[in-house]
Amino acid sequence: MGLFISDIIRNPLPAKWRNKIKYKLNSIDVFKIESQINVNSDEFKANKEAFLELLKNYKKIHREITKGGPDKAIEKHKKRGKLLGEGEG
């Protein structure tokens, strides 16, 4: 006997977890995952700040890459008649 997608949709979780809170979404049972995370704790706030700093750094690097690199490198390539790609600095 094979496993069918309809079986997974009807019973997505093991039996021991099926007693948890259920919600109906387009006639499919959706189980709520309860969290023990305290968003008001100092540890959570520190982790959030650290993550936001990393994200800011990532976005800065991503903009630089998308632009085609540093301005000096872009000028150097343009002087040589090279194309820069999608960003076209």
Residue 86: the pLDDT is 59
pTM: 0.47
Rounded Cα distance between 29 and 82, Å, is: 56
Residue 1: the pLDDT is 43
Contact 85, 77 (CB under 8 A): no
Burial of 84: CB neighbours in 10 Å, binned 0-12, 13-18, 19+:
middle
Degrees to nearest 5, angle at CA 78 with 82 and 56 = 100
Asked if the model's pLDDT at residue 13 lies above 80, the reply is no
**Residues 14-55 pLDDT 10s:** 665 555 555 555 556 666 778 888 999 999 999 999 999 999
| Domain boundary assignment for the chain | 1-34, 42-79
